[in-house]
A and B are shown apart, each in its own frame.
Chain A
Amino acid sequence: MIVALVLIFIALGSVVFHVVNPWWWTEIASNWGYIDDTIVLTFWITGTVFVAVILFMAYCILKFRTEKGRRAHYEPENKKLEIWLSVLTSIGVAGMLAPGLIVWQQYVTVPENASEIEVMGQQWQWNFRLPGKDGRLGKTEIRFVDDDNYFGVDPNDPNGQDDVLIEGDDLHIRMGKPIKFLLRSVDVLHDFYVPQFRAKMDLVPGVITYFWITPIRTGTFDILCAELCGIGHHEMRGSVTVEKDAAFQEWISEQETFEEVQAAALHRKLNKELAQNELEPRAKN
């Protein structure tokens, strides 16, 4: 008796909990509403099966609990029933897989007009690189990385000169415009995760991974790292602001380009050498 009631309570209670509990995803800020829809569909299909199985079990326990004189029915198998169940299950599974794969097709098909933004992960900080006027990002390589060339941009690649570099600071993106994030790491695995975008993907050293979104509302959102990347994993935070075109243009015009960063670095270096040259003779005397 108690067992059956507890099972019924859990089955129905779980559904009630699902409906009334306050914990649900945050308001979406990208075009991936389809993902949410697929989750909801999956929830109701699988939830129905869960409730049905558990209620059936509870019914059996109530009905066929041992008592004096009861003897179990002897029925090794029932082909017809088993075939029916296989077919129904396959249909249910296909009903979740098919929409899932259709949305996945969209997820892996980047729109032609998507603009590219590079996300560069490093223990434990987010950096970003946006193409300049030419709309193209310069090549990068680990061997070009040094104190003054954080991103490892190829100094000889003309496409890279006007790239906008954001080092450990917030990213701004434009609302309504598709964006292809190119993901890259200079050390370990990281994962670029903005809960409101729904999308995420690992950053892998040695390769460039990607995903795309179209932001659909303005706001500032947390960036988290979703792949364990060492002791500072939980502190690897950033934020991304989705804004209208005008605000974005203003923001980007205030950022430094690779060329400017290099020039500033050269300037510093020359100053330092100069200072040293002045110092040295005096030291000799």
Chain B
Amino acid sequence: MTETTSPEDDIVPPQEVPEMDLYHPHSFLTRWIFSQDAKVIAIQYSLVAISIGMVALVLSWLMRLQLGFPDSFDFIDAADYYQFITMHGMIMVVYLLTALFLGGFGNYLIPLMVGARDMVFPYINMLSFWIYLLAVLVLVSSFFVPGGPTGAGWTLYPPQAILSGTPGQEFGIILMLASLMLFIVGFTMGGLNYVVTILQARARGMTLMRMPLTIWGIFIATVLALFAFPALFVASLMMMFDKILETSFFMPAMIEFGEKMSYGGGSPILFQHLFWFFGHPEVYIVALPAFGIVSDLLSVNARKNIFGYRMMVWAIVGIGALAFVVWAHHMYVSGMNPYFGFFFATTTLIIAVPTALKVYNWVLTLWRGNIHLTLPMLFALAFILTFVNGGITGLFLGNVIVDIPLSDTMFVVAHFHMVMGVAPIMVIFGAIYHWYPLLTGRMLHNGMGQFHFWVTFLGAYAIYFPMHYLGFIGVPRRYFELGETTFIPDSAHDLNAFITVAALVVGFAQLVFLFNLFWSRRNGIVAERNPWKATTLEWQTEHMPPTHGNFGKDLPIVYRWAYDFSVPGAESDFIPQNMATKDVKLAEGMTVADLKAEKT
């Protein structure tokens, strides 16, 4: 463990480059609106992401109402339903989760946790947000154009996406593609910033192998996104050409309701390859930051170093690399060459190994810990449970032959909601409860938090666990109504109604959470300086909340990894990263030698 903790005589590398000058705002406008401070940009990103996420949440209620009580809602017709699922899915995955994890948490935490004053390109960082906002507005505008938003499913598969049998084929699909392209442009600006900041602007002594796992998760997720999003960008552009200029990238010769079309020679499967070359890494773009953050939440609240830190880092890197060679597991029934199945099933199941190791290390972190069941900890535990549950159903769907009966059924819907919906969102909640005091100086209300936690956790499990069984029966996904079938028993309809009720209850709990966010801003208990007794740098700033420039006159110097909890010999049960060994208060009768002895 020599590279993670440093003995007193460890030399702190000298400063290699002069500190950069920050642009200091002079007016309300440059301080809060066109701000170049990553922390403000982070909050802007988060607010927009959560707002648009609320739209997706409301859409999910409407969908659930339709599925649970198919004949009761005249105002939802099939076209609406398909538009709802499409917008819901796309918003949740891209405009909420990606934006919140990278634009929100990334912006806030990267400079603070690596010990930098700001992102290295603050101006570009600001542009990134404004382009993101534009992308969101373009997306929202599609609700108001003739024909409404696209109903092609969030996967936007051509030819269907741009033909007349699909709602929103007039303008909705064009706006969707335009919005995605804008999002990618905006993300690229931010993403380059995150990567360069992590690689170039770390505080002295903050070696890569001393970085908190939160930063590792966000870092690798950003790298994935920078490689993956271009595939979506070109796919969107090509589809836009197919739609507007009638090129035939994805369009073979076809008949549209009896009429021969002018297209010919294109390949719909090519689009699927491009989409999933983006789409699979996208899963990890959402998951890796969650992995990182949850590791830190567990460690802080168990007062114990994360178990197997180096393994955790390599698992993140390994998963990130493997994420690019598994994409076609989404295409087992797409009609691609069936022999691909052997390759992609194998890579997909291999990726399960580093993933499982991460799970083991999380639970092993609890072993012989000193567990504080704070709200962030509860969410972290809920993450482990839902992630393991969603992860194992991934082993069903990744194993090509098992996927055949299950693909395109509600089993898939249950799987991906559990693993990339519920689980990462548990982490987001945990993270918000954890860092809210840093942002506002106040704690979130505990009672409301407990209510929010229990209803969300148990409710979400009640929604998605039984849903797998609808998939086993064979209930297909993306069905406006099931109609008459011989194989779906009546009890399945009762189950659907139950799931709808659970979804509405869970949705309601989110309103309590939002209320808590606003209420505690003024009325919450004033937080201590470092309320969770964390080791990482963001809690060691001069001011809390940190001001522009993050750290006071001097940047912190880092002497150790982020996980020096309960170090034998030390009096306190944590040693901040920026505390030199000579400053560590020793427990009675201990010498510095005792401190070191345990660490190697």
Chain A residues in the interface with B (C-beta under 8 A)? 3, 6-7, 10, 14, 17, 21-26, 32, 34-35, 38-39, 42-43, 46-47, 49-50, 53-54, 56-57, 60-61, 64-66, 70-78, 81-82, 85-86, 89-90, 93-94, 96-97, 100-101, 103-104, 107-108, 122-124, 141-143, 145, 147, 183, 186-189, 191, 193, 195-196, 198-207, 209, 220-222, 224-235, 237
* Whole-angstrom distance between the Cβ of A160 and the nearest chain B Cβ: 18
CA–CA, A17 to B472, complex, Å?
14
Residues of chain B within 8 A (CB-CB) of A32 are 405
Does the CB pair B4–A76 fall under 8 Å?
yes
Does the CB pair A97–B399 fall under 8 Å?
yes
Residues of chain A within 8 A (CB-CB) of B368 are 64, 72-73, 75
CA–CA, A3 to B356, complex, Å?
23
* Whole-angstrom distance between the Cβ of A69 and the nearest chain B Cβ: 10
Residues of chain A within 8 A (CB-CB) of B405 are 25, 32, 35, 39, 195, 198-200
Does the CB pair B371–A66 fall under 8 Å?
yes
Does the CB pair A42–B395 fall under 8 Å?
yes
Asked if B376 lies at the interface with its beta carbon under 8 angstroms from chain A, I say no
Does the CB pair A147–B258 fall under 8 Å?
yes
Does the CB pair B483–A234 fall under 8 Å?
yes
Residues of chain A within 8 A (CB-CB) of B130 are none
Closest B residue by C-beta to A109: B338
Q: Which of B99-107, B341-349, B428-436 contacts A (4 or more CB under 8 A)?
A: B341-349
Does the CB pair A206–B367 fall under 8 Å?
no
Does the CB pair B485–A222 fall under 8 Å?
yes
Given A74-B568, A227-B408, A61-B371 contact (CB < 8 Å)? yes
Closest B residue by C-beta to A67: B370
Asked if B525 lies at the interface with its beta carbon under 8 angstroms from chain A, I say no
CA–CA, A193 to B4, complex, Å?
54
Which residues of chain B (382-410) have a CB below 8 Å from chain A?
A: 384-385, 388-389, 392-393, 395-396, 399-402, 404-409
Asked if B254 lies at the interface with its beta carbon under 8 angstroms from chain A, I say yes
* Whole-angstrom distance between the Cβ of B576 and the nearest chain A Cβ: 16
Asked if B366 lies at the interface with its beta carbon under 8 angstroms from chain A, I say yes
Does the CB pair A54–B402 fall under 8 Å?
no
Residues of chain A within 8 A (CB-CB) of B333 are 191, 200-202, 226-227
Does the CB pair A70–B370 fall under 8 Å?
yes
Does the CB pair B78–A57 fall under 8 Å?
no
CA–CA, A186 to B396, complex, Å?
32
Number of A-B contacts (CB under 8 A): 327
* Whole-angstrom distance between the Cβ of A218 and the nearest chain B Cβ: 14
Residues of chain B within 8 A (CB-CB) of A6 are 458
Asked if B531 lies at the interface with its beta carbon under 8 angstroms from chain A, I say no
Interface 1/0 per residue, B291-332 and A, CB below 8 Å: 000000000001111011111000000000000000000000
* Whole-angstrom distance between the Cβ of B152 and the nearest chain A Cβ: 7
Does the CB pair A89–B1 fall under 8 Å?
no
Interface secondary structure of A, over-half rule: mixed
Does the CB pair B254–A142 fall under 8 Å?
yes
CA–CA, A122 to B160, complex, Å?
11
- Give the most central of B335, B366, B487, B492: most A CB within 10 Å: B335
Asked if B123 lies at the interface with its beta carbon under 8 angstroms from chain A, I say no
Asked if B230 lies at the interface with its beta carbon under 8 angstroms from chain A, I say no
Asked if B252 lies at the interface with its beta carbon under 8 angstroms from chain A, I say yes
Does the CB pair B305–A76 fall under 8 Å?
yes
Residues of chain A within 8 A (CB-CB) of B345 are 97, 100-101, 104
Given A23-B491, A60-B371, A82-B308, A89-B486 contact (CB < 8 Å)? no
Closest A residue by C-beta to B569: A74
* Whole-angstrom distance between the Cβ of A242 and the nearest chain B Cβ: 13
Given A65-B373, A187-B254, A107-B309 contact (CB < 8 Å)? no
* Whole-angstrom distance between the Cβ of A250 and the nearest chain B Cβ: 23
Which residues of chain B (186-220) have a CB below 8 Å from chain A?
A: none
* Whole-angstrom distance between the Cβ of B17 and the nearest chain A Cβ: 32
CA–CA, A203 to B407, complex, Å?
15
Which residues of chain B (247-306) have a CB below 8 Å from chain A?
A: 252-258, 260, 266-269, 302-305
Closest B residue by C-beta to A104: B401
Does the CB pair A77–B307 fall under 8 Å?
yes
Does the CB pair B373–A61 fall under 8 Å?
yes
Does the CB pair A145–B260 fall under 8 Å?
yes
Which residues of chain B (562-584) have a CB below 8 Å from chain A?
A: 563, 565-568, 573
Closest B residue by C-beta to A58: B381
* Whole-angstrom distance between the Cβ of B347 and the nearest chain A Cβ: 10
Residues of chain A within 8 A (CB-CB) of B567 are 74
Closest B residue by C-beta to A27: B487
Residues of chain A within 8 A (CB-CB) of B352 are 89, 93
Closest A residue by C-beta to B568: A74
Does the CB pair B78–A195 fall under 8 Å?
no
CA–CA, A94 to B399, complex, Å?
11
Does the CB pair A23–B307 fall under 8 Å?
no
Does the CB pair B366–A183 fall under 8 Å?
no
Does the CB pair A97–B469 fall under 8 Å?
no
CA–CA, A193 to B473, complex, Å?
13
Q: Which of A23, A42, A78 contacts B399 (CB 8 A)?
A: A42
CA–CA, A32 to B79, complex, Å?
36
Asked if B163 lies at the interface with its beta carbon under 8 angstroms from chain A, I say yes
Asked if B545 lies at the interface with its beta carbon under 8 angstroms from chain A, I say no
* Whole-angstrom distance between the Cβ of B487 and the nearest chain A Cβ: 4
Q: List 7 A-B contacts (CB under 8 A).
A: A38-B399, A60-B363, A66-B303, A97-B399, A205-B159, A229-B165, A234-B476
